[in-house]
A and B are shown apart, each in its own frame.
Chain A
């Protein structure tokens, strides 16, 4: 069964706007990772946040983690057409990564 679940399933925004997606998970984790998948391609790692961290930044990406609520959020600021993709959270537990079903983000020009 899936460990992480993303919300919303799909998101459509205008170029330049921010995109926020959430991930909830069920069991304790070592870390939480976000991956991006462009249409027809493999997944690419974006950012990792460890269980003892609350916030992490990388370029236009900001990730938060709330272990008490078992949830994480990914914020993409100033979105671009190239950000159109599916985004997956993945939780690490006992050295295995479990993925959610993903959020599909469409950035309109």
Chain B
């Protein structure tokens, strides 16, 4: 049981390049989300999904796209990378959770540098 797996762990891009951060979970969680973590800013929600085929924007969605074609995978696409997107990205998931607790399981993070 691997939990939430993110790849790559590190990536360096040039301004204007595109790339996809991969996220996969093997816990059959319905809800998946992407956060970015910047110094002094905490974690900010980029996009989230409450199930396959359903996605929605979070607090800072500009410059990012997501899709959810399967329950397991939730890739984050950077369309045209900018230096402001230099950050550590975390994928997190949780079950449908009838208790309403909404406790997240996090991946180990992907550190992205845009030059």
Using a CB–CB cutoff of 8 Å, the interface residues on chain A facing chain B are 1-2, 4, 30-31, 33, 35, 40-45, 48, 88, 92, 95-102
Contact = CB atoms under 8 A, between A and B. Distances in A.
Contacts of B40: 101
A98 B58 CA distance: 10
Interface stretch (B13-21, B63-71, B101-109): B101-109
A42 B42 contact: no
15 contacts: A1-B59, A2-B42, A30-B100, A33-B103, A41-B109, A42-B109, A43-B90, A43-B104, A44-B106, A45-B104, A92-B102, A95-B100, A96-B58, A97-B45, A98-B59
Contacts of A42: 4, 90, 92, 106-109
Contacts of A96: 45, 48, 58
Given A42-B90, A48-B101, A99-B35, A2 B41 contact: yes
B79 interface: no
B41 A45 contact: no
Contacts of A43: 43, 90, 92, 104, 106
Interface of B: 4, 31, 35, 40-45, 48, 50, 58-59, 90, 92, 100-109
Given A41-B109, A96-B48, A88 B103 contact: no
B101 A31 contact: yes
A10 B44 CA distance: 20
Contacts of A101: 40-42
Contacts of A2: 41-42, 44
The 3 closest A-B pairs by CB, nearest first: A42-B106, A99-B43, A101-B42
Residue among B48, B90, B103 with max Cβ neighbours from chain A (10 Å): B103
Given A33-B103, A95-B102, A100 B42 contact: yes
